[in-house]
Structure 1
Amino acid sequence: MSKKFIIAVISTILFVGIVISYNYYQKIFGETITKTTLLFVYPSDNLQNVKEKMSPFSSHKNTFLFVAAQKNLKQPKPGCYLLKKGMSNNEIVNMLRVGNQTPVKVAFNNQDTLEKLAGRISHQIAADSISLLDSFLDKKFLTENNFTEKSVLGMFIPNSYEFYWTISADNFRNRMLKEYKRFWNSERIAKAKAINLTINEVITLASIVQKETAQNSERPTIAGLYLNRLKNGWPLQADPTVIYAIREKKGQDYSVKRVLTKDLELPSKYNTYKHKGLPPTLIAMPDVSAIDAVLNAEKHAYFYMCASIEKIGFHEFSKSLYQHNRNAIKYQRWLSKKGVNR
Structure 2
Amino acid sequence: MSDILQNIEKYGKKIFLYVKNDKIFSIPLKYVIGVFFLFMLTVLIGFHSITPADDQEQIVINVKPGMRTSQIAELLKDKNIIYHDVYFKILAQLKGLDKGMKVGEYVLHRGMSSTAVMDELIKGPQTVVIKVTVPEGYTVEQIADLLERKKITSKQDFLTLAKKYIPYEYMQNSDPNVKYKLEGYLFPDTYEFIEDTPAKKVIDAMTGEFDKKIDASLRERAKQMNLSMHELVVMASLVEAEAKFNEDRPLIAQVFFNRLKINMPLQSDTTIQYAMIERKENVSIKDTKIDSPYNTYIHYGLPPGAVDNPGIASVRAVLYPQMNDYLYFVADSEGHNHYSRTYQEHLINVNNIE
| TM-score normalised according to structure 1 size | 0.59
The 5 A counterparts of 1:13-162 are 95=121, 105-110=131-136, 112-124=138-150, 126-137=152-163, 146-147=172-173, 150-162=180-192
Taking a change above 3 Å as real, the CA distance of residues 123 and 97 of structure 1, as seen in their structure-2 partners, is farther
* Aligned sequence identity (%): 27
- Judged with a 3 Å threshold, the aligned counterparts in structure 2 of structure 1 residues 134 and 265 are, in CA distance, closer, same or farther, namely closer
Name the structure 2 match of 1:225: 255
Quick one: structure 1 residues 132 and 184, their matched pair in 2 at CA, closer, same or farther if it must change by over 3 Å?
same
5+ unaligned residues in a row in structure 2: which ranges?
1-64, 66-103, 108-118
Determine whether 1:174 maps to 2:180.
no
**Aligned match of 2:337:** 315
Contact 2:296-2:303 within 8 A present in 1 as well: yes
Cα gap change, 1:307/1:129 in structure 2, threshold over 3 Å: closer, same or farther? closer
Call closer, same or farther: CA 1:289–1:179 in 2, change over 3 Å: same
Q: Which runs of 5+ in 1 are unaligned?
A: 1-35, 37-78, 83-92, 335-342
Residue 237 of structure 1: CA displacement?
1.4
C-alpha RMSD of the superposition? 3.4
Contact in 1 for aligned 2:165/2:182 (Cα 8 Å): no
The residue matched to 1:324 in structure 2 has which SS? Answer: helix
Kindly provide the CA deviation profile for residues 85-121 of structure 1, in whole angstroms up to 9, marking residues without a partner as x: xxxxxxxx96486877686544211354323212323
Whether 1:329 and 2:351 are equivalent positions in the alignment is yes
- Give the one of 261, 264, 272 matched to 2:285: 261
SS at match of 2:303: coil
Equivalent pairs counted in the alignment come to 238
Distance 1:156 1:94, change over 3 A: closer
Provide the rounded CA distance (Å) in 2 between the counterparts of 1:290 and 1:240. 15
Partner in structure 2 of residue 242 of structure 1: 272
Alpha-carbon spacing, 1:186–1:323, altered in 2? closer, same or farther (3 Å)? same
Within 5 Å, give how 1:293-304 maps onto structure 2.
Answer: 293-304=317-328
Q: Which moved more, 1:139-148 or 1:275-284?
A: 139-148
- 1:204 is aligned to 234
Cα 1:144–1:197 change in 2 (3 A) is closer
Name the SS for the 1:151 alignment partner. Answer: coil
Contact 2:137-2:237 at 8 Å conserved across structures: no
Task: Pick closer, same or farther for the CA change 1:122–1:97 going to 2, 3 Å.
Answer: farther
Q: Secondary structure at the match of 1:157?
A: coil
**Mapped pair 1:195 → 2:225:** yes
Contact 1:230–1:277 (8 Å) recurs in 2: yes
Partner secondary structure for residue 132 of structure 1: helix
- The verdict on how the C-alpha distance between 1:193 and 1:232 changes in structure 2, with shifts beyond 3 A counting, is farther
Contact 1:207 1:283 in 2 (8 A): yes
Structure 1 residues 159 and 144: alpha-carbon distance in aligned structure 2, compared to 1, 3 A threshold: closer
Question: 1:14-41 CA deviation, whole Å, 9 max, x = no partner?
Answer: xxxxxxxxxxxxxxxxxxxxxx9xxxxx
Contact 1:111 1:117 in 2 (8 A): no
SS at 1:217's partner residue? helix
CA distance in 2 between counterparts of 1:125 and 1:138 reads: 23
Aligned to 1:273: 297
Taking the aligned partners of 2:132 and 2:287, their CA distance within structure 1 comes to 38
SS in structure 1 opposite 2:350?
Answer: helix
Indicate how the Cα distance of structure 1 residues 170 and 98 shifts in structure 2: closer, same or farther if over 3 A, else same.
Answer: farther
Counterpart amino acid of residue 325 in structure 1: L
